[in-house]
Structure 1
Amino acid sequence: MSRRPVAQLALAAAVALGVLGVVTGLLSPAVAFSGATFSSTTSNAVSTVKAASDWTPPTVSVVDPGSPVKGTVTVSANATDADSGIASVTIQYLAPNGSAWVTLCTTTAAPYACSWNTTGGGDGTFVLRATATDKAGYSTTSSTVQTTVANNLLVVLGDPGDLVRGTVPLTATLYNAGTVSYSVAIQYAVSGTTTWKPLCTTTTAPYACSWNTTGTAFTQGESYDLRAVASAGSTSSTSATVVGVLVDNIAPTVTVQDPGSPLRGTVTLAATASDAESGVAQVVIQYQLSGTSTWTSACTLTIDPFSCRYDTTKLPDGTYALRAVATDAAGNSTTSALVAGRVVDNTVSSVSMEDPGAYLNGSATLTATASSTAGVTSVRIDYAPSGTTTWAPVCTDTTSPYACSWDTTKVADGLYDFRAVLVDGKGSTTTSTTVSARRVDNSPVRGYDVQTVSGGATAGKLDAGDVLRLTYTQQVDLTTITPGWTGASLPVTLRLRDGGLLGLSSSSDTVDVLRSGAAVNLGSVNLKQDYVKTSKTASFNATMVASTTTVAGVPATVVTITLGTTSNASLLRTATTASTMVWTPSASVTDLNRFPSSTAPTSELGALDREF
């Protein structure tokens, strides 16, 4: 939040106090509150409101000490705060394969630096960071930098990445080799085994070779571990192991679906794609006008189902071919067979019923798109119990956008179909394709929100201290979540599964909660990003507690899961892209009146952000 000046507000004293409440509510919960006081002075005419002088966290960065380093080195940080000034800067490191940050020093005056005796922590790749705290109590943690500590002979094998294909360059680096001539062998083993086999041996720097991943020795879709061994006579040194490198030289399969012909107005373009090895990364649906050689992308899709709505009125009328190009996470791509001879003709009336969503409750918005060369006189939106022809009108609209509100509480819960009927300027009617089997669900309790809080060592990565919160719209019977539960802290297991294991895309990794090996009735959360390696499952020790909050003026249950330790750290990935999680609750949970919860998925509220 920006710094706020002293303001003279012509308000009654009670309103001034209300402003204080609003300001407090707007503060981000992830930032510590200012220690400065808030004061108000009231007279008969106006109120004077004074706010703290510093609402802005400091800025801080740790200086890269270079690489490699040995002996005692100086580690420094830059920190500034234009308002209240810097109170302290703490510099920390994370050792290779470490799980906890170690504090090197805390300094209260510039230059912010300390000495680091690197001889006491072993050799390898270390991570450095700095945390600055200003005099108002705000704190900021810097981005991290990496450095290689090499006080002895150290072999470091470069990481080729989680996914590889084709011919992959591999390079090993030797530190503190002195004048001794070493032979360096780069080796591989199937992940989880210790049967090491040679890839190459080299005696001159740079110690490099090429890994032909298409060779018969390597199984596609298999993960391999890599290491480098430097030898001179009877002396040898082995690098840290690069774990879980997936080999994938198999392209995905892809088919573009036939959208029909003729095509008018807004249509659905779709493709099906699959990849059993690294997973489908994206599908691009393209079109080509007959008589030309140019393919144009209609949409690029990264999440299954691979479909989009496309406005054909942007295209000249004519005959088109369609295709889809699928690319997997390793970079292999396949182009589908063509669907040719599809006519775009927007010279006549067209009407499309837009999909209102899989779950409807309360006041639902129903929308249609329509066009006609003769002009649109009206668009009527109808509904019917799914699979029947008992159509009833919801509304008739004469102006675009053609939409209306439907009170779903006036009908029984269940599946319904929808259509739109266009009347053009000539009096002719055109009926849209039916949108089928959309569920009306007015269950009194449902999922309200899903949120995460980063409390671990690495942003964007599931680790100890991270928090997952699930909020219902009402209070629920906790014993229906798991038998005998009172809401007190309960040991559980948080399970993180690759989306491919659940028939989803590789960027749809999913978590659920287990107790004694059985699923707790909280449903599942699709994280909408890639947090675990392909086809892998990671488990965390965790605790689960329940509390009560208020949602729309009604007491509601919040379930908070706090992550603890994991033995699967090597399987985890770090997500760098913001996402909107989706929570699908379980119908086994009931409210206090024994009404079952809706299973309608609920998306994370608030601004798009990076999870964990």
Structure 2
Amino acid sequence: MGRRWSAAAVLALGSVAFHPPQTSSATWSATTSSSATVRAASDWTVPTVAVRDPGSPLRNTVTITADAADADSSLASVVIEAQPSGGGTWTTLCTATGQPWSCSWDTRTVSDGGHLLRARATDSAGNAATSAVVSTAVANSLLVLLDNPGDPLRGNVPLSAHVYNAGILTLTTRIEYSVAGSDNWKTACSGLGSELTCTWSTGALTSQEYDLRAVAVVGTTTYASAVITDVLVDNTAPSVTLTDPGSPLRGTVTLAAAASDAHSGIATVVHQYAVTGSSTWLTACTATTSPWSCRFDTSTTADGSYGFRAVATDAAGNSTTSAVLAARSIDNTVSSVSVEDPGSYLAGVVTVGATANSTAGVASVRIQRAPSGTSTWTDLCTDTSATYSCSWDTRTETDGLYDLRALLVDGHGGTTISATVSGRRVDNSPLRGVDVQTVNGGASAGKPDAGDQLVLSYSTLVNPATITAGWTGSPLAVSLRLRDGGLLGLGGRGDTIDVLRSGSPVGLGSVLLGQEYVKSGKTVAFNATMTASTGTVGGVPATIITVTLGTVASGTGIRGGNPSTMVWTPSASATDISGTACATAPVTESGPLDRDY
């Protein structure tokens, strides 16, 4: 662990600059030589910045104002920018270096329609922050604007359209829809005047994506709004089948179901139970991710006969209730014991707990482990008081797979053995992943695009040649691949990225984004640059891999994801400088829940 790699042998970069996975943009520097030096700016607090809503619609010349502040140092500048709502380049309206942070915007220099506004504040230490986006409309001549109804949609959908600057003209306004990309428009609703509010009945439509627009007819002239593309209409209910939980049920059990949805994707599966003969269904637990399973503590329910069912609801709000599994018994009048799952990947000292109860009282609980698939059980500890747990120092074990179980001895001397938690991997490799982050450097927050970064941090130094052959850590042209989770059997929220070189994955593993960043069935590849730098993690020199996105190389269908927590599964092909393979334990993104990229 104390060995260092030289700049010549490892990075061949001499003095290199790197950015560790923090949100601040204050400068860091490091020198990779016989000793590593790290220096950081004293101000790591980013400014706060927000654009005031200027109202809508806007005409002629208007003032756009931002509010900005910094807790630790003075503000250097605030840049106010605009972009058409349909996408494009952010255009600088002004750069303000003092209060008030405002601009005069001649809206006649841009096209009528929806526009987005944002501000970027930078303090004197170099920390930068970008505000949330504010939406407005520019209307210097007759403008038709359709309010975005959201996505996905089902049933009766409220729609609204506005015609600005119509004056005293007599006009008819329509809202129209078309199967996405077909340009075959049909009327959803219509009315007289410049304001139209109506209900679009989607129940008879095929569940698929549609384009929407509004049109205004003045005499023989037709004016059309911008088209809102690829709006998903989903009136198709999901499918769900409950897995038999068995009988009798005791202690804390897993309730599971198989659920699928062809369009908007499953949002939740609610597991329910009811006393046999009753129609009053109660929630046992709710699953929000695949596999659709959750834990139910049966000891909170009176003993007796129950029916179980599962209710699956998709993202559009359609729901399906499974067939009922009747006459399943809950019986906690006898001893029950279960070992709590400590996780699939274990390292260092971990706590292994057990839940135990008995009508005769619990005399003791023994927690045991065995090499996976064997019957060679060894005690970890014996506990005589709740809560029952052991501290297991996995560093005393040989790396590999282990099974865990618990044995309850009740007050009458009877023994109850828990179900086995199987195949938990002990891996105390000194090289492992410690964090995964994304940095928004592109045009749109929460949407992958050029300038964004993926930052992977290891626990110690990595030999970059084991990530990809011949690599020294200097900037390397690669491809970042973003795939829909449905292509990988991970569901709609299982969108995944990995890094390729010459069409083959490099030894970084993969990152599960936990949300939908690309449309169903799509794959998008970005030109990218991969760089290795040296930082300090846990007080020791460590490798940080930064992948910077460039332009899209192939594919379409990028969309903005909701707040989520990324999970990086490193590859064992990466090794430290002594040849020790990297642990494959998944690494969960640190910090607050946010929109990645």
Fold-level similarity (TM above 0.5)? yes
Q: Is the aligned partner of 1:197 residue 2:182?
A: no
Q: Which residue of 1 aligns with 2:23?
A: 30
Distance 2:585 2:73 in 1: 48
Matched AA of 1:462: P
Deviation at 1:144, TM superposition (A): 2.9
- SS of structure 2 residue aligned to 1:513: strand
Pick from 553, 556, 576: which aligns with 1:591? 576
Q: Which residue of 2 aligns with 1:16?
A: none
- SS of structure 1 residue aligned to 2:581: coil
Q: Is the aligned partner of 1:164 residue 2:148?
A: no
Q: Is the aligned partner of 1:76 residue 2:74?
A: no
Distance 1:576 1:451 in 2: 15
Q: Deviations over 1:430-461 (max 9, x none)?
A: 10111122223344433222122233344333
Q: Structure 1 residues 553, 284: closer, same or farther in 2, change over 3 A? A: same
Deviation at 1:525, TM superposition (A): 0.7
- SS of structure 1 residue aligned to 2:95: strand
Distance 2:122 2:179 in 1: 47
- SS of structure 2 residue aligned to 1:164: coil
Q: Structure 1 residues 297, 518: closer, same or farther in 2, change over 3 A? A: same
Deviation at 1:140, TM superposition (A): 5.2
Q: Is the aligned partner of 1:611 residue 2:574?
A: no
- SS of structure 1 residue aligned to 2:192: coil
Unaligned runs of 5+ in 1: 1-26, 35-51
Q: Deviations over 1:286-328 (max 9, x none)?
A: 1223354422212222111222222222222222222111100
Note the 1:157-306 alignment, pairs <5 A.
Answer: 157-191=146-180, 193-200=181-188, 202=190, 204-205=192-193, 206-207=195-196, 210-215=199-204, 218-220=205-207, 222-232=208-218, 235-290=221-276, 292-306=278-292
Q: Which residue of 1 aligns with 2:426?
A: 440
Distance 2:386 2:273 in 1: 28
Q: Which residue of 2 aligns with 1:122?
A: 111
Contact 1:244 1:571 survives alignment (8 Å): no
Q: Structure 1 residues 605, 85: closer, same or farther in 2, change over 3 A? A: closer
Matched AA of 2:349: S
Q: Which residue of 1 aligns with 2:30?
A: none
Distance 1:605 1:76 in 2: 34
Q: Deviations over 1:63-90 (max 9, x none)?
A: 3222111211222334567887766544
Q: Structure 1 residues 537, 182: closer, same or farther in 2, change over 3 A? A: farther
Q: Structure 1 residues 480, 137: closer, same or farther in 2, change over 3 A? A: closer
Q: Which range moved further: 123-132 or 64-73?
A: 123-132
Deviation at 1:139, TM superposition (A): 5.7
Pick from 113, 118, 136: which aligns with 1:147? 136
Distance 2:376 2:45 in 1: 61
Distance 1:408 1:86 in 2: 50
Q: Which residue of 2 aligns with 1:483?
A: 469
- SS of structure 1 residue aligned to 2:465: helix
Matched AA of 1:152: S
Note the 1:489-500 alignment, pairs <5 A.
Answer: 489-500=475-486
Distance 1:272 1:498 in 2: 20
Unaligned runs of 5+ in 2: 1-19, 28-41
Contact 1:243 1:570 survives alignment (8 Å): no
Q: Is the aligned partner of 1:95 residue 2:84?
A: yes
Distance 1:569 1:92 in 2: 28
Q: Deviations over 1:492-527 (max 9, x none)?
A: 232223323322233332222233433333221112
Matched AA of 1:154: L
TM-score where L is the length of structure 1: 0.83
Q: Which residue of 1 aligns with 2:297?
A: 311
Q: Which residue of 1 aligns with 2:5?
A: none
Let me know the Cα RMSD of the aligned residues.
3.2
Distance 1:56 1:290 in 2: 59
Distance 2:129 2:433 in 1: 33
Deviation at 1:223, TM superposition (A): 1.9
Contact 1:279 1:500 survives alignment (8 Å): no
Count of residues in Structure 1 that have an aligned counterpart in Structure 2: 564
Pick from 331, 342, 364: which aligns with 2:328? 342
Deviation at 1:245, TM superposition (A): 1.2
Deviation at 1:557, TM superposition (A): 2.1
Deviation at 1:587, TM superposition (A): 2.9
State the percentage of identical aligned residues.
58
